[in-house]
């Protein structure tokens, strides 16, 4: 999950539209997870069908923002100083998401999570500890039965790969010339296309399990978009389009919402579609959004609001989804009733995210910045 340009970095002009698109993508993720309760594992029934690709869009935005904020700062900044800045930006909400997940675990005892019935207090405390320090759980130790590396808060898996990409960037990939970086991005694109077109699923779903398949998917999902974002920033790819925020939002919403293409032996069609979105459409959207850095007006102010809210929303909403999904499936809730309850969950998720942002995340980051970054 990407975040807005670091408040602790030296002042640079802000890409308000990119922030807004991050907010749009986060809202689409919540909608995707709400509708998923009625899909029953059948991708053909899923509304906001490709909503999971918002994660790949987040990775692309993250690479762009990290390069914009830090590419020109390495003369006076060490890798450890960079890591501390990223920890200050990302870790407080990871802590919040883990604790919210633990607090809501007692409301998740539905039949779709049968293993939760036998979870002990010691196991919960272990999940909290591992989640707080970003240590993934193995499938055999994961108590929910979904294979999640962070079972208290499933989407935290993408932050694991976010951190990994940041480490690779700081360790040396930031030093690559544009030509060498382009070669890495091209190779990563080939790997991603291979996963999508030749893989058994025909989509990028996965990355949250600590097994060979899950790690492979996670690496494939982060390597292309993150470093494509870095390259996009370095090349100065900007496209000026009137009404850029509206255009980009529409392109992103449509890209994430179209129905699935191809099933059974035709799964490769869906793979081609998702490859086209991640490799072509998403970079185009970012290039258009970055082309209007001076954007202002009511729509952009709304964009800034949801941009600030996007990371807290993404990393705190899923414990509510566990409860909602179990309730829908176990009680066989009809769609009309489920839609009403889902709207309520949506509002509650946004409210929790806003409270976390204002009462915890922003103050915590300011405090950590004073403690950890005063001499950075």
Nearest to 214 by CA among 119, 137, 274: 137
* pLDDT for residue 145 is more than 90: no
**pLDDT per residue as tens digits for the range 151-195:** 999 999 999 999 999 999 999 999 999 999 999 999 999 999 999
Q: What DSSP designation does 45 have?
A: G
**pLDDT per residue as tens digits for the range 52-84:** 999 999 999 999 999 999 998 888 889 999 999
**pLDDT per residue as tens digits for the range 333-360:** 999 999 999 999 999 999 999 999 999 9
Distance of CA 341 to the CA centre of its chain: 24
User: Using 50, 70 and 90 to split pLDDT, how confident is the model at 295?
Assistant: low
Give the global pTM.
0.93
Cα separation, 274 vs 256, in Å, equals: 9
Q: What is the pLDDT of residue 200?
A: 86
User: Using 50, 70 and 90 to split pLDDT, how confident is the model at 9?
Assistant: very low
* pLDDT for residue 363 is more than 60: yes
* pLDDT for residue 138 is more than 60: yes
Triad 203, 98, 125: Cα angle to 5°: 120
Distance of CA 273 to the CA centre of its chain: 20
**pLDDT per residue as tens digits for the range 18-64:** 999 999 999 999 999 999 999 988 888 899 999 999 999 999 999 99
| Cβ neighbour number for residue 170 with a 10 Å cutoff | 21
Arithmetic mean of pLDDT, 298-316: 87
Q: Where are the domains of the chain?
A: 16-372
Q: What is the pLDDT of residue 1?
A: 59
Cα separation, 192 vs 199, in Å, equals: 10
Nearest to 157 by CA among 135, 141, 139: 135
Cα separation, 105 vs 321, in Å, equals: 11
Q: What is the mean pLDDT of the chain?
A: 92
Compute CA distances 139 → 70, 144, 209, 271, whole Å: 36, 10, 7, 27
């Amino acid at each position: 999950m990407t975040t807005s340009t670091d408040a602790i970095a030296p002042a640079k002009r802000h890409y308000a539209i990119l922030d807004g698109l991050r907010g749009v993508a986060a809202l689409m993720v919540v909608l995707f997870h709400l509708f998923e309760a009625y899909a029953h594992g059948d991708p053909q029934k899923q509304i906001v069908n490709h909503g999971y690709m918002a994660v790949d869009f987040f990775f692309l935005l993250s690479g762009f923002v990290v390069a914009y904020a830090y590419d020109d700062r390495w003369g006076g900044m060490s890798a450890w100083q960079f890591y501390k800045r990223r920890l200050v930006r990302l870790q407080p909400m990871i802590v919040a998401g883990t604790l919210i997940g633990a607090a809501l675990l007692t409301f998740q005892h539905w039949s779709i999570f049968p293993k939760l019935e036998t979870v002990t207090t010691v196991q919960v405390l272990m999940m909290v500890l591992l989640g707080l320090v970003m240590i993934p759980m193995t499938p055999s130790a994961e108590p929910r039965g979904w294979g999640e590396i962070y079972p208290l808060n499933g989407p935290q898996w993408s932050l694991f790969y976010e951190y990994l990409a940041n480490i690779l960037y700081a360790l040396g990939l930031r030093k690559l010339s544009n030509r060498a970086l382009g070669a890495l991005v091209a190779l990563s694109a080939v790997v991603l296309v291979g996963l999508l077109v030749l893989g058994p699923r025909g989509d990028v779903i996965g990355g949250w399990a600590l097994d060979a398949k899950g790690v492979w998917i996670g690496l494939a999902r982060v390597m292309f978009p993150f470093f494509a974002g870095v390259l996009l920033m370095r090349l100065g790819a900007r496209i000026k389009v009137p009404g850029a925020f509206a255009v980009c939002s529409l392109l992103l919403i449509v890209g994430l919402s179209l129905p699935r293409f191809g099933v059974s032996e035709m799964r490769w069609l869906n793979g081609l579609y998702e490859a086209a979105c991640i490799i072509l459409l998403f970079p185009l959207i970012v290039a258009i959004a970055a082309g209007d850095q001076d954007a202002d007006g009511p729509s952009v102010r709304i964009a800034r609001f949801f941009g600030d809210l996007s990371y807290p929303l993404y990393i705190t909403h899923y414990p509510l989804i566990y409860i909602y999904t179990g309730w829908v499936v176990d009680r066989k809730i009809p769609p009309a009733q489920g839609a009403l309850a889902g709207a309520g969950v949506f509002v509650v998720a946004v409210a929790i995210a806003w409270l976390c942002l204002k009462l915890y995340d922003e103050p915590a980051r300011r405090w950590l910045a004073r403690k950890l970054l005063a001499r950075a």
